Structure 1
Amino acid sequence: MALLVAATPAGLAPDTCSAAAAKMDLPANQTQLVSPTTDPLFVLLGVGVQNYTCSASTLTYTSTGVVASLFDILCLDTTPAFAAIQTLGFDVWKALPASFTADDLGAKIGPPLLLGFHYFVTSPSGTGLSPKWDFTSTGKFAGNSSAFVLGAKVGDITAPADPAVNIDWLALNNAEGSLASKIFRIDTVNGQPPTSCVAGSADISVKYTAKYFLY
C-alpha cells in the first residue's frame, strides 16, 4: 500500500491537514445518509475482509463481521488521488496473497497513517454484535482506552455502482465510546458474498475497501 505514502503531499503529516474541505459525495434523492453540517474528525480508508457464514436454512451467506485496518487519508482529500483511493487500494489489496491479512497490512504501514482497526464485538446490550472502530492500540491514541466508538446502524443504501459486488453504504450513530458521534461507510469496493451456498460450507472472508467518515 505504498500508494498511501506516495499520494500524501510531501511534508504533510496527518495532524497538519485541515478537514474543512473533506466532504462526502453522497447520492442525490435519498435520505438514509445525510452529511452532518460539521467537519469530519477523521477520514479513513478501511482495508480488510467482510466475513460470512452459510445459513443452512436459507442457503445464503450471512454476515459475521469484519476485520480491517484503518488508514488516515485526510491529507489526500484535496488531491486527485482521493476520489479513487478506495479502488486503487483494493487493486493492491486484492493482489496480495490470502495469507497476508489486514492486520499484517496495518503492521507493514504502521503509524502515523495507521490510525486503528475495525472489527465486531459484543453489543452493549449483551446480545448480538456491534461494529467497533478502535484507535486504542496504535498511533497517537495508543493507550487511550476511550479512543473507540461502537456503531448502531441508522441508514443503509445499496452501493450506487455494482451493488451485487460492492457492499452497502451505511450511516451509524454512536452506541458507546468517545471517538465519534456518527460514522459513515461510503465508496465501497467489493465485499459482497456469493449469492448462495451449500449447507455445511466453510466460512468465507471477502476482501473489500471503503472510506469511513467519522464525525
Structure 2
Amino acid sequence: MRLAPILLSLATVSLAAPANFFDNAYDFSDELSDFYSKVSQYISRVRKSSTPSATCDISKIKLPAFASGLPAPNETVPIYVALGRGTQNYTCADSTSASTPKAIGAVANLYNATCLAANYPDLLELLPNIALSISLPTNEYATFPPANLGLMGHHFFTGTIPEFNLDLTATKQFGIAMTKKGGQINAPTTAVKGEYGAVPWLYLSTIDGTVGKYKGVYRVDTASGSPPDTCEKMPSSFQIQYSANYYFFGN
C-alpha cells in the first residue's frame, strides 16, 4: 500500500538518516521527538486504512483554534499555507534602559506547507518550534527540514509595508500579497519564547499592489522573535531569529 507522499518523505528522513544526522543538522529537541512520534502514528494509521488519502484538499485547512481572537476570514477561503523562517529586525536610538527597541520589519523564507496544513495540521503546528533551531539552507532553493518543504517565496518589508512575494521563479508564480496589520493577539503562553518571547499572532489585510486573489494573511504558531524590553547594552540595529506559520486567504 502506498503511503501519502508527505508521510513517505518524512519517513525517509527519519528512518534512513545516518545516526549522527540529527546532531549535525539540528538539536534533537522534545518538539522534534514529538513530531516524528506523530509521523510514526500516521504511517501506522495509513498502512491499516483501506483508503489512504494522498490528496491535498485545501478546503480542509483551518486556522488554529487560538486564532479565534483575530478577525475571522469571512467570505474567503484558504489558498496557501507557508512555514516562515527568518528574523525580526529592530533598531535602538541608544544602548541605555531609557530607550526601547523599534521594529523595522522582518525577513523570512517561506516554505510551502499547504498540503501539510490540509492533511496533518497537528504536525504543522509543531514545525515553527522545530524550525527555530534549524539554520536556513545555504542553497536558498533547498528543501527545509524536517518536513522537506520546498521554497515558495519570501517575506520582507517594502518601506513600512509587509510584503509576501510568492513569485519565486518564471515558472512558479503564486502572486504577491501587500498587507497592513488588521488585528493582533499575544502568542499563547505555550509558545516557544526564545530569549525574549514569541512575537504576537497577526491578521494582515491586503492592500493595493497585491497580485492575485489574496485578501488576508494570518501569522500564527509563532516562535521567538520578540526584542528585549529595553535597549540596554544592545547595538543600534539587531535581529532576532523567529519562525511562524502563515495562512493565505482569498477568493
TM-score, length-scaled by structure 1: 0.75
Q: CA deviation at 1:140?
A: 4.2
Task: Map Cα deviations across residues 106-131 of structure 1 (whole Å, 9 max, x no partner).
Answer: 33328982110000003xxxxxx100
Higher Cα Rg, which structure: 2
Matched, 1:192 2:244: no
**Equivalent residue for 1:135?**
166
Match of 2:154, SS state, is strand
Matched, 1:89 2:87: no
2:203 counterpart (171, 179, 192): 171
**Equivalent residue for 1:9?**
7
**Equivalent residue for 1:4?**
none
Task: Map Cα deviations across residues 191-214 of structure 1 (whole Å, 9 max, x no partner).
Answer: 001111148823111110001001
**Equivalent residue for 2:187?**
159
Unpaired runs of at least 5, structure 1: 1-6, 97-101, 123-128
In structure 1, how many angstroms separate the alpha carbons of the residues matched to 2:187 and 2:140?
26
From the superposition, tell whether residues 198 and 169 of structure 1 become closer, same or farther in structure 2 (CA, over 3 Å): same
Matched, 1:26 2:65: yes
TM-score, length-scaled by structure 2: 0.65
In structure 2, how many angstroms separate the alpha carbons of the residues matched to 1:90 and 1:200?
22
Match of 1:107, SS state, is coil
Aligned length: 188
Between Structure 1 and Structure 2, which shows a larger proportion of helix residues? 2
Task: Map Cα deviations across residues 143-198 of structure 1 (whole Å, 9 max, x no partner).
Answer: x8xx2111011101111225750001111111121231111101100000111114
**Residue type of the alignment partner of 1:173:** S
In structure 2, how many angstroms separate the alpha carbons of the residues matched to 1:40 and 1:70?
16
1:69 counterpart (87, 95, 109): 109
Decide whether the 8 Å contact of 1:72 with 1:115 is kept in 2.
Answer: yes
Unpaired runs of at least 5, structure 2: 10-54
Q: CA deviation at 1:33?
A: 3.0
In structure 1, how many angstroms separate the alpha carbons of the residues matched to 2:84 and 2:179?
15
Between 1:167-176 and 1:72-81, the stretch displaced more is 72-81
RMSD (Å) for aligned C-alpha atoms: 3.0
From the superposition, tell whether residues 197 and 29 of structure 1 become closer, same or farther in structure 2 (CA, over 3 Å): same
Identity of aligned residues (%): 25
Decide whether the 8 Å contact of 1:9 with 1:75 is kept in 2.
Answer: no
Between 1:61-70 and 1:80-89, the stretch displaced more is 80-89
Q: CA deviation at 1:28?
A: 7.3
